[in-house]
Amino acid sequence: MMLSAEYRATAESLRKEIEYHNRRYYTLDDPEITDAAYDQLLRELQALEAQYPELLTTDSPTQRVGAEPLDAFSEVVHPVPMLSLDNAFDQQEFADFDRRVRERLELTDEVHYIAEPKLDGLAISLLYEDGLLVRGATRGDGKVGEDVTQNIRTIPTIPLHLTGSGYPKRLEVRGEIFMPKAGFNRLNERARQQGEKGFANPRNAAAGSLRQLNPKIAAARPLAIYCYGFGLVEGGQLGKSHYESMQLLAQWGLRISPELKQLSGISACHDYYQQLAKRRDGLDYDIDGVVYKVDDLQQQQHLGFVSRAPRWAIAWKFPAQEETTRIVGIDFQVGRTGALTPVARLEPVQVAGVMVSNATLHNMDEIQRKDIRFDDTVIVRRAGDVIPEVVRSVLSKRPADAKKISMPALCPECQSEVIRLEGEAVARCSGGLFCPAQRKEAIKHFASRKAMDIEGLGNKLVDQLVDKSLIHTPADLFNLSLDQFAGLERMAEKSAQNLLDALEKSRLTTLPRFLFSLGIREVGEATARSLALHFGSIEAIREADQERLQTVSDVGPIVAEHIIAFFRQPHNLEVVKALQNAGVHWPAIEQAAADQLPLTDKSFVLTGTLSRPRSVIKEQLQSLGAKVAGSVSKKTDYLVAGADAGSKLAKAEKLGVEVLDEEKLERLLATL
């Protein structure tokens, strides 16, 4: 008996300690211990209850993992009906509500309200007896709901036993079960990885989770609650105002909205609405409006109810973020990097206060996952400044002959081949040097310092040249005259002459720089240099097949496919030829010497303050066959460290990478 009493006291102590930390973590967002320390406490209690089952209580924190599956939910008659709220959809309708309240209360002063976000979740009733959670029920039709107690027990933000003292003997708390956006995204991502269908939105996910007959499934879902009110109160009392009562609920361990505010008068209510509307998209949960309640409980009682709603509360709704419309066509827009994005053309519909006639479909994977088809009736969503998107199709309204959507074989802008490599979600136009949609980015990259290094040809000048149709490809740059440059905004004759001189200077380049300037996908500086040294000429690279390309150390199957796709497009070949005809040339590379360079297959990293510019040292090392990387790894052969070297030096020393100062680097190079 003494041993049993000792274990009983230990179990009770562990339960209290765990519930205390639950409250710190879930309700106050202020944990005191680490997750590992919390897990250790929970394991101790689980082990104790497993050894002595008589110690197990219904309010034990270990019971949040879920009980055995139910055959069906039983019905619950709400002792106090869970009524709906009337809605206001604009400022005038809310002003009319305020006027009615003041008239019924015969007030000349402003009404004191409380306000909080209207969560887009599932209303729930929690019944506590002597502080112990004995029942959880859905709203149902307001009079009769479903008993979901076993699922409710799995939600960590719902206390199984109230904390503190002074709570009524029987207390029914009302709240909203919801799924935070972050948890919803994780849940859907996990479903996608397992090849399962995800939920359409967080509200559906929350409702579906709470109505699982198997509580273990509900326990695995990231559900949360904010309490907003109360129903039955017996054997005790709450505060004199709604706000005061909500603060008592918080003291007893129940989670209330951090956005709950006391307001005086209609002007303050309007300001709250506007401020929350601006912050709406930044919240980690979905809301669809603001709920306002008369704060004084005696005034609430005086105002009373109509058949389905209290006269003392109203929900001022935000403009709908989702609406239903029909797809009337599909366009494929080409982005500045060549990515093709499918866009649905819609029958115009008002969404979140804006007329929407186009919505993104993201990519072909998303189209297939959502099974979107031509002529579908769809749900369109627009949240804040986010581009409208098609959320899902309404299958019940799908025409029998609705056709599937497919990616075009040719770019709609330039008719170059559209490439989508295995494992990539995005399809891209392969006509990078010619495609109008990619024109500005292609020319800016071509002129950049690490490519053709055309000094003075900045982004704004490129924009002007393209917008005025003076250039269409990089080759056109070399055909421009002094007058054409001088006629641009903020370009005097001297600046124009300097730019012409820079273009003339850039005609003599190197094969690695020229390759990099072409903007071939995945071909960066190092890969361009490796290709140039290995093949020796642009013609050899153009004619190489995938097998030969992959003999280059930096080139794998994906990079090889990008190179082949680029040189397969007649438009790209025409621009390369035009550049050569314009006088762009480079010194010949002796291919036989390429594999004999002294630092071939050696990897360097530069860090710290060096006496020479890093770009100069980098180019010197690369000319000797070395690779120059940006971070230290096990594959790094040398770290060149200048003054004030930091984390890269520490990592190199930890990995055993040889560290060189500039003097040692010079000695190494002198021996080659």
> Which residues are known catalytic residues?
118
Mark out the alpha helices in 333-491 (DSSP H runs): 364-370, 439-447, 459-467, 482-486
Conformation bin of residue 465: beta by default, left when phi > 0, alpha when psi is -120 to 50: alpha
Which has the closest alpha carbon to 444: 464, 425, 419? 464
Question: DSSP letters of 64-121?
Answer: GG--PPPSSPPEEE-SS------EE-SHHHHHHHHHHHHHHHT-SSPPEEEEEEEESS
Residue in the structure block whose two tokens are 């080139």: 555
In the chain, how long is the greatest CA-to-CA distance? 104
CA distance linking residue 626 with residue 555, whole number of Å? 16
Give the angle subtended at the CA of 580 by the CAs of 578 and 586, to the nearest 5°: 155
The SS3 assignment for 317 reads strand
Q: Between helices 266-279 and 91-105, what is the axis angle to 10°?
A: 140
Which has the closest alpha carbon to 153: 63, 263, 259, 22? 63
CA distance linking residue 471 with residue 156, whole number of Å? 62
Question: What's phi and psi for 392, nearest 5 deg?
Answer: -165, 165
Which has the closest alpha carbon to 511: 549, 537, 540, 484? 537
Q: What sign for the dihedral angle of Cα 527, 532, 537, 543?
A: negative
CA distance linking residue 261 with residue 291, whole number of Å? 11
Q: Between helices 181-193 and 202-210, what is the axis angle to 10°?
A: 80
Give the angle subtended at the CA of 303 by the CAs of 297 and 304, to the nearest 5°: 90
CB 344 within 8 A of CB 390: yes
Mark out the alpha helices in 474-556 (DSSP H runs): 482-486, 493-506, 511-517, 525-535, 538-543, 546-549
SS3 labels along 109-132: CCCEEEEEEEECCEEEEEEEECCE
CA distance linking residue 557 with residue 561, whole number of Å? 6
Mark out the alpha helices in 252-296 (DSSP H runs): 266-279
Taking the alpha carbons at both ends of the chain, their separation in whole angstroms is: 85
Residue in the structure block whose two tokens are 């609920």: 249
